[in-house]
Amino acid sequence: MSEKQEENSVPFYPDHVTVEAKVALGFGILVVLIGVLGLFFPVGLGTPADPMDTPIHVKPEWYFLFLYQLLRFIPKTIGATAPVIAILLLAVWPFLDSKPDSTKITSRIRLCFSAAVILIIIALTIWGEVS
């Protein structure tokens, strides 16, 4: 290194080490302070959950709403296993159908089928949100 670079540099030890030690000490004090405040002012957990009483307002997140809505129309065992079987079928499909398409009608059929499935998922999601 040249003398000019040595003048502009900051040594790792002790400068950087002391700064990191001060930051770690500050975080440690903050964690202990939060722990002591939690010890003297606990936040209560509220009433215990009752597994036999589900509130009416409970809904899943938006990405599960179509499955939630689907369970209203089909039996629960089919509704629980059908999405898993569909995902497994999608994962295995490229190995089952490896021949190239000979006509454009097969790609149109796939496009229409995919669009219909996406529209059904969107409709069930919206229906699940407003119901």
Question: What are the Cα distances from residue 71, in Å, to 32, 38, 47, 122?
Answer: 48, 42, 29, 15
The span from the CA of 50 to the CA of 96, in Å, is 47
The mean pLDDT of 27-51, rounded to a whole number, is 90
pLDDT greater at residue 51 or residue 20:
20
d(CA 76, CA 53): 19
Check: CB of residue 101 under 8 Å from CB of residue 107: yes
Please report the pLDDT score of residue 1 as a whole number.
57
pLDDT surpasses 90 at 42: no
**DSSP class of 103:** S
Mean pLDDT of the chain: 88
Residue 81: is it exposed, middle or buried by C-beta count within 10 angstroms (0-12/13-18/19+)? Answer: exposed
pLDDT at residue 96 in the model: 86
Reported as a single tens digit per residue, the pLDDT across 76-95 is 889 889 999 999 999 998 88
pTM of the entire structure? 0.55
Domain boundaries, the chain: 10-40, 62-130
Residue 5 scores a pLDDT above 70: no
